Chain A
Amino acid sequence: MSNFLATSDLSSYLPIFLVTLMAAGFAIANFFITMILGPKRDGKVKGETYESGMVPMGTARKRFNVRFYLIAMVFLVFDVEIIFLYPWATTFPNLAHGDSNAIIWLSRIFFFLLTTVVAYVYGYRKGVFKFD
C-alpha cells in the first residue's frame, strides 16, 4: 500500500509548480495578446467612470458599511478553527473503537468547538449576522 500514499518530500510538489506556471502563463499571455491585437482609441469622456451614463458623482473611495469588516473578523475566527479541525478529522476516525484515547480526543475537540460556539453566540447577540 505504501505506493498509494503520497510522499512527503518536496519533489511531489513539482507538478504544483508546473500547474502554477501554466496557469500564470495563460493569464499573462492572454493579457499581452489582447493588448497587442486590440485597437487603441482614447478620449476624455471615454475614460470617465461608468455610472449608467450620468456624469460621475465623486469617487468610489468612500467609507463603506462596517458590517463587511465584522464579517471578515468573524470569518477569521471560523476559518482558523476549521483549519485546526482537518488534522483531527483525518486521524480521529482511524482510532480503533474502544480506544481509551478516543474520548479524550473527542472531548478536547468539543471544548475547542465550544470556544467558537461562544464566539458565535456573542456575535449573534451583538447582531453581527443581521443584514437588514
Chain B
Amino acid sequence: MDKPEFLTAQLIVNAVVVALTIHVMLLTVAYLIYFERKISAYIQDRIGPNRVGLDFGLPALSFLKNVIGLGQPLADGLKFFLKEDYTPSKVDKVLFSLAPMMSITPALMGFAVINWGGVWNFPDFTIPLLNWHIEGGPVQVAGANIGVGIIYMLAIASLGVYGITLGGWASNNKYSFLGGLRATAQMISYEIPLGLALLSALLVYGTTMPDQIVRQQVSEGWMVLTQPLAAVIFFTAILAEANRAPFDNAEAENELVGGYHTEYSSMRFALFFLAEYAHMLTSGALFTLLFLGGYHLPGSSLPGLDLLSPESTTFVAVVAKYAVFFTKVVLVICFQMVVRWTLPRIRYDQVMAVAWQVCIPLALAHVVVISVALYMDWRAPWQLFVANVAVALVFTALQGRVGIPSTNKRLPLYGSRFSPMPGEKVVTGPTNPVALEDRPVQSLHAR
C-alpha cells in the first residue's frame, strides 16, 4: 500500500494536537468549574469544595485524601452520569435531546486553529510496518492549519447559539423560552462588536494565520498594549458571548430559574454547563492569541531565555510554549471569574443597550480610525495606542450629546416608591397601627 498523498508531517502533528487538546480541554473544563467554586468561595469568605480527595476510597491511595477538594470535578461528573435523565412530557422530544449536543459540539470544535506551540521542526521519520517515509520540516503545532485561520473560530463560535435557542424552545417552558430568547438576542448582538474588534486587530496584523499574529506581537509588542480599546471591547463581547456575568441574563436565577436549561437534568444539563466553560476556554484562547501575545513572554528574546521565541523549534520549546499559552488562557478565565463574582448582573435592557448603542458604534468608529491610520502609515505601536485612546476619549465626550443616554431612565413599577405607575397612589411608611407601635421613635412622638 502506498502512502496517501495528503499524509504529511503537518497533518500528523495536526491530528495529534487535536486529539491531545480536546482531552486537555475537557479535563480543564472540569477543573474550571472547581476553580470557579473556589474563587467564588474565597471572594465570599467561604472555603469552597475541600472534602473530596483523589483516593477513590482505596487505602493504598490514602495519602491523596486531603488535596483541597481536587476530586470534586470527578465526583460531580460521575454523579451526573448516575442521575435520572428525565424528559418532561410536554417537550419536543427530538429537539430537546438534540439541543445539548448542538451546544457542546461547536464549543469543543472552536479551538482547532489556535496555534498552541508555534513551529516545530519535525524530524524525518519512517512509519514502521507500512514503511511510509514522512518528510520532516517546520510544521505548525496547531489543531488545523487552514487558510481562513481565526475566522474559523468565529464561524464555529456563532454556531453555539443554535443549541441554546433550541433548548429554550423545545422545553415548552416559559422560563426556558424567555431565557433562550434572551440568550439568542444577546449572543448575536455581541457578535458584532466581537467581529469589529477582531477586525481592527486584523487590520494591524494583515493576516489571519495564528502563527503570523504571534510573530508580529513578538516584534511589535502585545496587542493589548498597542490597541487597548479593541481589547476592552473584545473582552466585553466574549463575556457576553459566553453568557457570563455580568451579562448572564439568560440564566438569571431570580427571574428565570435556570434559563434555557430549566427543564434539563443529568448529563444533558451538564453538557450545557460544559459548553459554557468550553466556550470560555475557546474565547479565552482567542483573546490570548490576539491580544496577549500567544505563547510569548516578555524577555524571551534575550539570549539564554529564547525557549519561547518563535525561532526556537525544538520539541522542548513546543511543550514550553503550549504550557505558557494554556497558563495564559487559564489566567484570562480566572479574570472572567473574578469579574463574575465582583460585578452585579446588569439589567437586560441595559445589556442590549450597551451592545447596540455603545459597543457597536464605538467599534465601528475604531475600525474606521485604524484603517485611516494604516492608510497614513501610522503603524508604530505608540501611534496605534494614541489612536485608540483618542477614539475612546472622543466617544466618551460625545456620549450623552448625540442621543445616547448616559443616565438610567426610571421605569415605572407597580408599588415602587420612587417611580410609581401613572395614577398610582404611593403610600410611604407603615399604615398598620401595630407596625407604628413597633417603632420606638414614632411612638415617643405619639406620647
Contact = CB atoms under 8 A, between A and B. Distances in A.
B14 interface: yes
Contacts of A113: 364, 367-368
Given A14-B11, A15-B14, A33-B81, A131 B352 contact: yes
B203 A93 contact: yes
A123 B119 CA distance: 47
Interface in B69-120: 80-86, 88-90, 97, 100-101, 104-109, 112, 119
Contact of B26 (A26, A46, A51): A26
Given A6-B209, A38-B84, A78 B89 contact: no
A37 B81 contact: yes
Contact of B143 (A15, A38, A131): A15
Interface in A2-45: 3-9, 11-16, 18-20, 22-24, 26-28, 30-31, 33-35, 37-41
Interface of A: 3-9, 11-16, 18-20, 22-24, 26-28, 30-31, 33-35, 37-41, 46-52, 59-61, 64, 67-68, 71-72, 74-75, 78-79, 82, 85-86, 89-94, 97-98, 102-103, 106, 109-110, 113, 116-117, 120, 124, 128-132
Nearest to A11: B6
B394 interface: no
A13 to B, nearest CB: 6
B199 A22 contact: no
B226 interface: no
Interface of B: 5-6, 10-11, 14-15, 17-19, 22, 26, 80-86, 88-90, 97, 100-101, 104-109, 112, 119, 137-140, 143-147, 149, 151-152, 171-177, 181, 184-185, 188-189, 191-192, 195-196, 199, 202-209, 211-212, 257, 262-263, 266-268, 270-271, 348-350, 352-353, 356-357, 360-361, 364, 367-368, 371-372, 374-375, 377, 379, 403, 409, 411
Contacts of B375: 102-103, 106
Contacts of B89: 47-48
Contact of B191 (A3, A35, A79, A132): A79
A20 B266 CA distance: 24
A5 B11 CA distance: 14
Main secondary structure of the interface of A (DSSP, over half): helix
15 contacts: A4-B209, A6-B209, A7-B145, A19-B109, A23-B22, A23-B106, A34-B83, A34-B266, A38-B81, A49-B171, A49-B263, A51-B174, A75-B189, A124-B357, A128-B356
